[in-house]
Amino acid sequence: MQHIWPIGGGKGGSGKSFLVSNLGVWLAMQGKKTLMVDVDLGAANLHTLVNIPYPEKCLSDFINKKVDTLDETIIETSTDNLYLISGANNNLDASNLVYSQKIRVLRAITKLPYEYILLDVGAGTSFNTIDFYMISDYGVFVSTPEPTSIENVYRLIRSVYFRKIRQMLNQQDFKSIIEQAGVLCKESSIDYLSAIPFLIKDREPETGKIIELMLQNIQYRLVLNQHRKRDNPNLGFLMCKMVKKYLGIKMEFVGNIHFDERIHDAVRKKVSFISRYPYTQAASDIRELCNKMLLISSQDSIAGDEHVQVHHL
């Protein structure tokens, strides 16, 4: 069974690419055939983290139809079972993909024969970021414990939620529902977006039911990186509670990763942190949170629930 985990966050520098590369190594070390895809189109650097300074092929070769299949852009890394589609030589056009190009990439990704596919989604709330979360219900969001980073992640989750609902309705209905929700929630502290599914259900019970099911299937995960001793260790739980309360979306806090200066050293030396410093707290944090995510995935696989979402696109 294939598992696709888009991994992103609201802010650059929070450790998304670091997490993708280390999760990739850890999954591969456990014998899982894993592919990392660098879809951070404007700031691709995953190749550097796995010490491939000059990848001979990359995602834009597929986007620009230099090759026919996405398969042809895959590169082996020095870790057994770990593969990469690099974004290294993406030209400027690639960072502004049109929707149909994105769909083509997403469809092709779902056809690749890998057990785990990790997408390095990058930062921000542009369509380039949000659309890559449409592929799976198992998005991972990375933040630091700083309020600015948390705020950006909340904004990103909100945009993904908005986009998921948006694509189920025609433009006119969507506009009028948004207006109605805005009026309804004007005086309350509730995020007006959370009222939208109820309003749709009132007007169009069938569509409302589909949206309700779609939202129920979401199983997001939150990682807080660069955790320092003075940070509240339960901040992640509070954040997940907030997402549930204001948006009604399930998000599980899978763990803190401690701040460690040696991560900088590992990046500088282009070695995998988890292999070079396996005995550190941060490495143990990554193993633990990865195992937690594997457990959730395996439970969902047993229930037959984990599925990709490209048909919605």
Ligand X SMILES: Nc1ncnc2c1ncn2[C@@H]1O[C@H](COP(=O)(O)OP(=O)(O)O)[C@@H](O)[C@H]1O
Number of residues counted as binding ligand X (CB under 6 A) = 16
Kindly identify the residues of this chain, within the stretch 245-284, that bind ligand X according to CB under 6 A.
257, 259-260, 263-264, 267, 282
Selected binder of ligand X within 3, 6, 7, 14 (CB under 6 A): 14
Residue 13 Cβ, how far from Mg ion at the closest point, in Å? Answer: 8
Q: Is 141 in the site for ligand X (CB under 6 A)?
A: no
Alpha-carbon distance of 210 to 204, in angstroms, equals 10
Q: Is 16 in the site for ligand X (CB under 6 A)?
A: yes
Residue 186 Cβ, how far from ligand X at the closest point, in Å? Answer: 36
Structure tokens at 214: 């779609």
Contact region with Mg ion (CB under 5 A), list: 10-18, 29-37, 109-117, 224-232:
10-18
Report CA torsion sign: 306, 307, 312, 313: positive
Q: Give 143's strand partners.
A: 224
Please report, to the nearest 10 degrees, the dihedral formed by the alpha carbons of residues 14, 17, 21, 23 taken in order: 50
List the one residue out of 215, 157, 207 whose CA is nearest residue 177: 207
Q: Count how many residues are written for the chain.
A: 313
- The DSSP line for 5-70 is EEEEESSTTSSHHHHHHHHHHHHHHTT--EEEEE--TTS--HHHHTT-SS-S--HHHHHTTSSSSG
Q: Which residue is nearest to Mg ion (CB)?
A: 17
Selected binder of ligand X within 17, 81, 129, 256 (CB under 6 A): 17
Q: Is 17 in the site for Mg ion (CB under 5 A)?
A: yes
Q: Is 62 in the site for ligand X (CB under 6 A)?
A: no
Of these partners, ligand X, Mg ion, none, which one is at the site of residue 14 (CB under 5 to 8 Å by kind)? ligand X
Nearer to ligand X, 194 or 226 (CB): 226
Query: Which residues sit at the interface with ligand X, rule CB under 6 A?
Result: 12-18, 225-226, 257, 259-260, 263-264, 267, 282
Query: Which residues sit at the interface with Mg ion, rule CB under 5 A?
Result: 16-17
